[in-house]
Structure 1
Amino acid sequence: MRSVERHGWRGFHAMMAGTMRLVLLAVTLWLSLPFLAYAQSDGSGGPLLDRLTTEVIKAVFPGITRVEMVEDEGPTAAAAFRNEEMAGYIFSTLDVLRAPGYSSTPFDVVAGVGLDGRITGAVVLFHREPYLLNDDRRTGQLVTFLDALSGLEGRLGAAGGIDPSFVAGATISARAMRNAVLESAGMVLGFRTELVVVTEPTIDTVNFKPMSAEELAAMGALARARITNADLAVAMERAGLGDYLPEIPTVGGPADLYADIVFGYANPPKIGRNGVAGETFDQLVNGTPDGTMAIYAGSLGGLFDHRGARFNNLSAGLLLERISVAQGGQTWRFHKPDVIFSRGRIADLLLLPSDAQFDPMQPWSAQIHASARLPDGSLKQFVLADLDYSLPHQLILMPPPDLSYVWAEPWIESKTEIAILCLALLTLTGILFFQGALSRRRKLHRWVRDGFLLFTLVWIGWIASAQLSIVHVINYIKAPFSNLGLGFYLAEPLIVILSVYTAISLILLGRGVFCGWLCPFGALQELLARVGRALRLPQWNPPERLQRHMWLGKYASLSLILVLVFTAPDAAAVAQEIEPFKTAITAMFVRGLPYVLYAMLLLAIGLFTERAFCRFLCPLGATLAILDRLHLIDMLKRRPECGNPCHLCERSCPVRAIESSGKIIMAECFQCLDCQVEYYDDRRCPPLAKMRKQLERAKKGPAPVRPAVVTAKAAP
């Protein structure tokens, strides 16, 4: 304000005009830098062995001592050895699939897969993903996301890991990299091994890996009951036997171990073969009829084991009285002929009857029974522990997904966000359809307008990260030239919905629906401009002639980006940073200092000139302004007096999209409806105010005529 007081409004206007020219010049120089710094990089990477540095090998396949290229006709891969024993393969998604990311440029993720079919690690070496470039926060999230692929089954569609939405704002890139790693692993391993391919969910009875009981229990492959003396006392009290002694006496204090028993489905080798001796598991595989199912039961410690002593007793029917298994209302007890005992371990394979209606892929439970000795010497049985069990997904082989429907995954995951966005767009449609009724109520219009802008900024922008940008336009343009299918267009649900709504509204009403209501960065600028006016900061708008020249800035930025996209993709990625959307919206200012300073500069200018970036620099705005020429309906009303003699709407338009002639330039209009509020205000709109006064006079009727009073003069 002191500057205005010192130099007057003319000086302030000159100062702002000079500032805007400097900003435009600086941005132009910035856009020129890619030509100077540009070095073509297509991400080809060279031979795989050259990319496998010590650090990369350590990250993707820990414990490997050497690698060597595999010379065959299969997908490119390097064999990984641990000492002299082969452990798996290392491969690159760029060599195997050349899978494109969101930028439509193939990325390079190097990963390892063990001979058991599990991913051992993955790191990204190259990408051009627009929402990951120069973003340390998201890059860190991507590293964590790829690290979580370790242990997943090497096939597209494998369950587990971290949801791609973890890499907020770059979900499509994260999902594409994950799918490429899993699919490439399946191709690399499937070509060189007898990899099991199934057409329906099938229990993995092929793959084996040495694992301890603790590892299996941690994975969920074993249900474990560690029972202390105190737990035993609680179980007996619950059974009403607290005054009696257990059949197997306790030793030590309440915290000492009484029993440590594990159960699991035995047919997968990772469970059965790790639980019993090798020859014992071979009896199940080769010595029983096909389709025989078994339960693994093992005792790891404590005085109480799962067998008991009566399975050798004919009078007891050779019953293993301490074990029962239940599922779906059926209960199975086991006798000695039903058991394959393991030599040297207290671990057994309990064979289920051939006619048992048992489904190992459905939950089941195992009960541990103990007995208390009554005063008459008899034994009374009670439940010591009840274990619930479900076979973990790592032990279930899944068929490859139908690739034509891979795009449906993000739509299913985002159903809540989709519902919120659709409700918001339905609300906006109502606002635009009933804009006349809304514009007649100045205060209501202001509340609705500011409320929707706040929703656009906070939810669409900062929470859902659904900021449309020139990046999306470029990717949609490039997709047909990159042989990308329909799935590419459908991979980002919120962006797809916004794009379709924007296209329809653009054809019907013009550019202003998206730019004025649905652009989070535009909403941020407008809300900050309101703050600036509330603080009585001086406002500047260029004269009409200068403004027409400044509008060309956004078309220049669009033209340069389009040229670079097809001639110098690396430079285009830099040029696209003219949009501060990634910094201010999707990254919420958590980026490098130059990007944050640039975004803050644009927002600071917006305090004095509303939506300066949208009007003079935005390449997306330029795209929509060009297409605005196609719009079919003009819903903004005008009167013959608009522009001559009345200039009220022209002065009230915050972005000066109304010419002095009174015509609205729809390509520059943000459809804020401010001019419509003035149009319907019979206190401010001169033609309407004149009509209102005439009606008020007509209602009062003509003024009453007073009779003339004649005063007689007195005679002299």
Structure 2
Amino acid sequence: MAGLPMMRSAEQTPAAGTLSPVRLATALRLLLLVMALWLCQMVAAAAQSEGSGGPLLDRLTPEVVEAVFPGITRVELVEDDGPAAAAAYAGEEMAGYIFSTLDVLRAPGYSSTPFDVVAGVGLDGRVTGAVVLFHREPYLMNDERRTGQLVTFLHALEGLESRLGATGGLEPGFVAGATISARAMRNAVLEGAGMVLGYRTEMVVVTEPTIDTINFKPMSADELTDMGALARARITNADLAAAMEQAGLGDYLPEIPTVGGPNDLYADIVFGYANPPKIGRNGVTAETFDQLVNGTPEGTMAIYAGSLGGVFDHRGARFNNLSAGLLLERISVEQGGKTFRLHKPDVIFSRGKIADLLLLPPDAQFDPMAPWTAQIYASARLPDGSLRQFQLADLDYSLPPEMILMPPPVLAPAWAEPWIEGWPEIAILVVALSVLTAILVFQGQLTRRRKLHLWVRNGFLLFTLVWIGWIAGAQLSIVHVINYIKAPFSDLGFAFYLAEPLIVILSIYTAVSLVLLGRGVFCGWLCPFGALQELLAKVARALKLPQWNPSETLQRQLWWGKYASLALILVLVFVAPDLSSIAQEIEPFKTAITAMFARALPYVIYAVILLGIGLFTERAFCRFLCPLGATLAVLDRLHLIEMLKRRPECGNPCHLCERSCPVRAIEKSGKIVMAECFQCLDCQVEYYDDHRCPPLSKIRKQLEKAKRGPAPARPAVVARKAA
């Protein structure tokens, strides 16, 4: 507009271009530093690989044995070429094996150091118990609450099948904040149990559903009936009378006279598929079952039929009668519209009990895995002495899943499990990051509205604290950075980086935003502990608590504190790993965020002290002590885009943005120190406020004056000469 002073184009953001020589030199120094750290890690990993958990029997104290295999009286080391294990005996009878995941798999969790979980597996293929003896999992160490959750989680593995992918027990998320460690220990126990038992037993490897003809366990008829392995008909005298009435034979007497009253037992008959030893061998004598296994053509199937009580049995009286075709006239089997009638040559009788194996030849077209029906017949005696048959009962039968060996499930890659299970949380985080991206892209429109910026800023910080931090437990920390650096030298593979979905997504977003905009995107918007500090600081200012910020010179000295904490942790990680876990407690993230203050008192006091300091100096921990912040600040020097706008007047003569910056990341010269900036956008709110920003305020007043037009001319005053 004519007549108005023109502002210089310095208001525009400098264009992102190629790296300057200074940035290139910084990048080379960082590369050399990373290479040096990796070299140290290789040396440490090599030394660590020489370590050992000691002889297995030395670790199997009576307390450990009782926890992983209750009832065991002695253990003996198994000396063969299979996976290391100790045989577990109950008296003189062998009951299973005890093994260590450290010896069998050397599996690591979230730490690159393999853990040592001792577990037991019974000869029935089930885990008997598991306890952890050693680990260096960062989110479990020095955390009594999570350690207790891990103990409960491992205890819940008891009874699971000894194979990777077995279902049951507790979900890894039960150990909140340490799901990777819990999942790794569970998988190591299940996989190790399968390896230990499979090498030393006749475990059948199946590629399709197969009848279990291997495993045996003594079980009663009641137990088999309860699990569905036997179909059972308990028929009273009253049931008999009802069946005869329905058949139109109510005026006649049954072939087998009843004994007792209406509620007394007439027949108690069971049927089941006999080839699984748990059914057939429990139903007949061992000799009888051996005839089925070793004395019949391969592929022969058998139906188990037994009479457990009452005056009526399943055999009948005419199976010895040649003229009657040696038929067991009282029973038949029906499947898919086809009826199988049994004759004496088709039966293996059991001595000492009324229990038989009814043989079906391999070509009988009988499918033992499909449902079938056992039909029970009885006869009524007519006045002329002849017998008329009627149906007494139908028994529907299906072989229970426990009697069928299933092929190992096709498992998704180990890293995919948490992604599949955690898709709702992943979706929420992706939406939140999309919202944050929109905030950053359209920050100009947002910061032109002071109240809107205030609500958006506080709302997102609250989401970061409550959902990302306390609910999802996705607090990115220096522990993740260190583990990512160490992983390539610990044989963890690419899957390690994908094992924690929310952390992976946050890490990628942080890395991209770090290269583009600087460290402030994560530290200012996505760090739950940082959000907690800032929200508390806002409350403190609302309560008019005194605020203190160091001078520019002193602040530069204090900034070195976070670099010192980072250096201390890095040195200890490679020199003294045990001490490094203590040094990592410089970050109070585990206490205040992932554990929500449910930790030992010293950790809670430390976190509360840091938060208390933050009430008087905003984000004091982030600015002066945070090792993760130091890592991001070092890498910040490579960022490409400067989105925070400045004017020539910033710093000289105007200091408005400098005073409004809550973390004093703006120098007196007006320059923003991006390595210390948290991208809160408070300075941009001032930048666009034409009532507070002096250059804009001046322009606004000139525009308002121009709209009003020129001031009306004042009337001329003529002085009169004195007479």
With structure 2 as the length reference, what TM-score do the two structures score?
0.79
Contact 1:306 1:322 in 2 (8 A): no
Report the alpha carbon displacement of residue 500 of structure 1 after superposing the two structures with TM.
1.1
Match of 2:192?
184
Structure 1 residues 677 and 66, CA gap change in structure 2 (3 angstroms): same
Equivalent in 141, 152, 160 of residue 152 of structure 1 = 160
CA distance in 1, matches of 2:445, 2:701: 22
Structure 1 residues 359 and 367, CA gap change in structure 2 (3 angstroms): closer
Equivalent in 677, 684, 709 of residue 676 of structure 1 = 684
Contact 1:213 1:222 in 2 (8 A): no
2:497 equivalent to 1:497:
no
2:587 equivalent to 1:566:
no
Contact 2:117 2:189 in 1 (8 A): yes
CA distance in 2, matches of 1:654, 1:304: 94
Contact 1:310 1:316 in 2 (8 A): no
| 3-state secondary structure, aligned to 2:121 | strand
Structure 1 residues 97 and 125, CA gap change in structure 2 (3 angstroms): same
Match of 1:92?
100
Match of 1:336?
342
Please give the per-residue CA displacement for 1:643-671, whole angstroms capped at 9, x wherever unaligned: 11111211211111111111111111111
CA distance in 1, matches of 2:312, 2:427: 55
1:261-276 aligned at under 5 Å gives the runs 266-276=274-284
Contact 1:90 1:110 in 2 (8 A): yes
Contact 1:311 1:320 in 2 (8 A): no
Report the alpha carbon displacement of residue 471 of structure 1 after superposing the two structures with TM.
0.8
Match of 1:46?
54
1:57-456 aligned at under 5 Å gives the runs 57-200=65-208, 202-212=210-220, 220=227, 222=229, 266-286=274-294, 289-291=297-299, 330=336, 335-337=341-343, 391-392=401-402, 395-399=404-408, 405-456=413-464
Contact 2:109 2:184 in 1 (8 A): yes
98-107 vs 381-390, which moves further: 381-390
Report the alpha carbon displacement of residue 272 of structure 1 after superposing the two structures with TM.
4.0
What code does the residue aligned with 1:61 have? F
CA distance in 2, matches of 1:681, 1:701: 24
| 3-state secondary structure, aligned to 1:336 | strand
1:565-584 aligned at under 5 Å gives the runs 565-584=573-592
Report the alpha carbon displacement of residue 475 of structure 1 after superposing the two structures with TM.
0.7
Contact 1:456 1:517 in 2 (8 A): yes
Report the alpha carbon displacement of residue 334 of structure 1 after superposing the two structures with TM.
5.2
Structure 1 residues 212 and 563, CA gap change in structure 2 (3 angstroms): farther
Contact 2:271 2:374 in 1 (8 A): no
Match of 1:21?
none
CA distance in 2, matches of 1:297, 1:698: 108
Structure 1 residues 531 and 400, CA gap change in structure 2 (3 angstroms): same
| 3-state secondary structure, aligned to 1:630 | coil
What code does the residue aligned with 2:503 have? I
| 3-state secondary structure, aligned to 1:110 | strand
CA distance in 2, matches of 1:603, 1:250: 85
Match of 2:534?
526
Report the alpha carbon displacement of residue 637 of structure 1 after superposing the two structures with TM.
1.2
What code does the residue aligned with 1:587 have? A
Please give the per-residue CA displacement for 1:228-277, whole angstroms capped at 9, x wherever unaligned: 99x99xx99xx9x9x99xx99999999x9999987766544334433444
Match of 2:3?
none
Report the alpha carbon displacement of residue 200 of structure 1 after superposing the two structures with TM.
5.0
Match of 1:28?
none
Structure 1 residues 108 and 705, CA gap change in structure 2 (3 angstroms): same
Please give the per-residue CA displacement for 1:96-135, whole angstroms capped at 9, x wherever unaligned: 2222221110111111222333222211111111111122
Report the alpha carbon displacement of residue 351 of structure 1 after superposing the two structures with TM.
6.6
Contact 2:266 2:312 in 1 (8 A): no
2:655 equivalent to 1:647:
yes
Report the alpha carbon displacement of residue 153 of structure 1 after superposing the two structures with TM.
2.7
Instruction: Give structure 2 stretches of 5+ with no counterpart.
Output: 1-46, 381-386
| 3-state secondary structure, aligned to 1:684 | coil
Report the alpha carbon displacement of residue 592 of structure 1 after superposing the two structures with TM.
0.8
| 3-state secondary structure, aligned to 1:465 | coil
Structure 1 residues 349 and 197, CA gap change in structure 2 (3 angstroms): same
Please give the per-residue CA displacement for 1:54-107, whole angstroms capped at 9, x wherever unaligned: 111111122211112223333322222222222222221112222222111011
Match of 2:487?
479
258-267 vs 57-66, which moves further: 258-267
Structure 1 residues 93 and 524, CA gap change in structure 2 (3 angstroms): same
Equivalent in 675, 697, 701 of residue 689 of structure 1 = 697
Instruction: Give structure 1 stretches of 5+ with no counterpart.
Output: 1-39
What code does the residue aligned with 2:156 have? A
CA distance in 1, matches of 2:186, 2:524: 37
Structure 1 residues 331 and 466, CA gap change in structure 2 (3 angstroms): farther
Number of aligned residues: 658
Structure 1 residues 336 and 503, CA gap change in structure 2 (3 angstroms): same
| 3-state secondary structure, aligned to 1:533 | helix
Match of 2:708?
700
Report the alpha carbon displacement of residue 286 of structure 1 after superposing the two structures with TM.
3.9
2:524 equivalent to 1:516:
yes
CA distance in 2, matches of 1:269, 1:201: 17
Report the alpha carbon displacement of residue 411 of structure 1 after superposing the two structures with TM.
1.8
Report the alpha carbon displacement of residue 349 of structure 1 after superposing the two structures with TM.
6.0
% identical equivalent positions: 73
Report the alpha carbon displacement of residue 571 of structure 1 after superposing the two structures with TM.
0.3
What code does the residue aligned with 1:564 have? L
Report the alpha carbon displacement of residue 474 of structure 1 after superposing the two structures with TM.
0.8
266-275 vs 427-436, which moves further: 266-275
Report the alpha carbon displacement of residue 142 of structure 1 after superposing the two structures with TM.
1.2
Contact 2:548 2:616 in 1 (8 A): yes
CA distance in 1, matches of 2:656, 2:541: 19
Structure 1 residues 278 and 688, CA gap change in structure 2 (3 angstroms): farther
CA distance in 2, matches of 1:641, 1:613: 32
What code does the residue aligned with 2:342 have? K
2:475 equivalent to 1:467:
yes
What code does the residue aligned with 1:396 have? L
602-611 vs 48-57, which moves further: 602-611
Match of 1:5?
none
| 3-state secondary structure, aligned to 2:132 | strand
Report the alpha carbon displacement of residue 468 of structure 1 after superposing the two structures with TM.
1.0
The RMSD of aligned alpha carbons is 4.3
CA distance in 2, matches of 1:307, 1:150: 41
Structure 1 residues 367 and 453, CA gap change in structure 2 (3 angstroms): farther
Report the alpha carbon displacement of residue 556 of structure 1 after superposing the two structures with TM.
0.6
Report the alpha carbon displacement of residue 293 of structure 1 after superposing the two structures with TM.
5.5
487-496 vs 471-480, which moves further: 487-496
Please give the per-residue CA displacement for 1:382-439, whole angstroms capped at 9, x wherever unaligned: 99887877514x953443867x922222222222222222222122111211111111
Greater Rg by CA: 2
| 3-state secondary structure, aligned to 2:644 | coil
1:27-46 aligned at under 5 Å gives the runs 44-46=52-54
